[in-house]
Amino acid sequence: MTRRRWIADKVEGDRAFLVDNNANHLFRVLRAQAGQQYDVVADGVARFGTITFASPDKVEFQLGEEIAAEALPEISVYLSIFKFDHMEWAIEKLTELGVTRIVPMVATRTSQHLIKAAEKRVERWRKIAKEASQQARRVSPPEIADSVQLEKAVAAVTGARIVLSEVEEGVSLKAALAGTHPPVAMAFGPEGGWTEEEIALFKNHGWQSAKLGHTILRAETAAIAAVAVTVAEIAT
């Protein structure tokens, strides 16, 4: 049976602790008791953990030997900010798929009220990513960056760069990925898509435009589907 994995909130030597919501869930829902064993990620390393103390506010583990962890492909997702409930779902699923970094971007067609509210949402997005990482048995959650203007984000990326665009007619995502190796960066537009100026900006900075099928997808669907294809392609 596969053990549940937790990312420690605090580490002291060979002891690790879950606190607050993590501790409450493990204690009340999973009925944590002394002697039970779980996988615990402490300072980025997965180890066997045996519960030595459990309460609704704190669960303490004695850490044991390390557990081998499979490396994830280095995929960064540049995600134009869109409706928060849809974006939270996308962050959760992208985390499960194994992306290493998610960068929320402000595009031309990003709604103004979302831009203003995004700064206050970053910590919630990081919490969602951590919870999804535990469920997916990752060693660490992806980095969730602070929101950034698209122009700045596009210029700062090196390596393989692919921008998904509904106006691209010739190059499929699979074709764009041919011969590609990590790290890979992928950019996704907001509801309403990219402007012509933004497409030109990507091109000028060396991004490859690609399409994902013949239908118009919602932003969150496009991101999840494209990353799933990319993981499959670059892992083979």
CATH code: domain of residue 128: 3.40.1280.10
3-state secondary structure at position 125: helix
Mean pLDDT by 10 residues, the chain (236 residues): 85 95 90 94 93 95 90 93 96 97 96 92 95 92 96 93 92 94 95 94 96 90 96 82
pLDDT at 80: 97
3-state secondary structure at position 56: coil
Same domain, residue pair 223 and 119: yes
Which tens digit of pLDDT belongs to each residue from 78-122? 999 999 999 999 999 999 999 999 999 999 999 999 999 998 999
Q: Which of 40, 66, 92 is the last residue of a domain?
A: 66
C-alpha dihedral, 166 to 171 to 172 to 173, nearest 10°: -90
Q: What CATH number is given to the structural domain containing 19?
A: 2.40.240.20
E strand residue ranges, 67-205: 75-80, 101-106, 143-144, 148-149, 160-164, 184-188
pLDDT at 6: 92
Same domain, residue pair 83 and 52: no
Same domain, residue pair 16 and 131: no
Same domain, residue pair 107 and 52: no
pLDDT at 213: 84
Same domain, residue pair 113 and 80: yes
Tokens of 158: 């090196």
pLDDT at 57: 94
pLDDT at 98: 95
> 192 in the Ramachandran plot: left (φ > 0), alpha (ψ -120 to 50) or beta?
left
Same domain, residue pair 100 and 211: yes
Q: Which of 66, 83, 117 is the last residue of a domain?
A: 66
The C-alpha atoms of residue 64 and residue 182 are separated, in whole angstroms, by 32
Same domain, residue pair 113 and 225: yes
pLDDT at 234: 87
Same domain, residue pair 36 and 91: no
3-state secondary structure at position 68: coil
Among residues 224, 201, 226, 230, the alpha carbon closest in space to that of 213 is found at: 226
Same domain, residue pair 218 and 148: yes
Question: In sequence order, which residues have a C-beta less than 8 Å from that of residue 150 and are 6 or more positions away?
Answer: 80, 105, 106, 107, 108, 198, 201
Q: Which of 41, 66, 91 is the last residue of a domain?
A: 66
Question: Is residue 24 within 8 Å of residue 33, measured between CB atoms?
Answer: no
Tokens of 43: 């300072």
**Exposed (0-12), middle (13-18) or buried (19+): which is 197, by Cβ within 10 Å?**
exposed
**Exposed (0-12), middle (13-18) or buried (19+): which is 59, by Cβ within 10 Å?**
buried
Same domain, residue pair 189 and 128: yes
Name the residue range of residue 87's domain: 75-234
Same domain, residue pair 48 and 141: no
Same domain, residue pair 60 and 80: no
The C-alpha atoms of residue 71 and residue 180 are separated, in whole angstroms, by 18
Look at the chain and report how many structural domains it folds into: 2
pLDDT at 227: 97
